[in-house]
Amino acid sequence: MRITKRTNIAVRLLMYCAANAERLVTKAEIAECCNISENHLAQVINQLSQLGYLHTQRGRNGGMTLGRSTSEIQGWRCLSPCRRRAADGGVLCGC
């Protein structure tokens, strides 16, 4: 199966937030742990927060948490916006 880089980042981001549900996680923390560019990560965070999958908090003590419970998040629904970009010539990565 081949997925876009954004979809790969979205999956890692949601899994990391779910694993650390008891606290706010930062973009830098996720980027370092998952070896992801912070710029690419920021774009995915923005998209997922607009869709309601993430709750973000700005500021010095800011970060993000899941915007929905893990039982409400269905992979195909939250990843379909990322998949649509592949049809537009997005870069694919191996899974």
- Residue 89 one-letter amino acid: G
Q: What is the pTM of this model?
A: 0.73
For each of the domains in the chain, give its residue range(s) and CATH number, in order of start. 2-94 (1.10.10.10)
DSSP lists the bridge partners of residue 66 as: 54
Among left, alpha and beta (phi > 0; psi -120 to 50; other), residue 9 is alpha
pLDDT at 91: 42
pLDDT in tens, 37-66: 999 999 999 999 998 889 999 988 889 988
Q: How many CB atoms lie within 10 A of CB 8?
A: 20
Residue with the two structure tokens 């990322």? 82
For 59-69, the pLDDT digits (tens) are 888 899 888 87
Residue 72 pLDDT grade (very low, low, confident, very high; cuts 50, 70, 90): confident
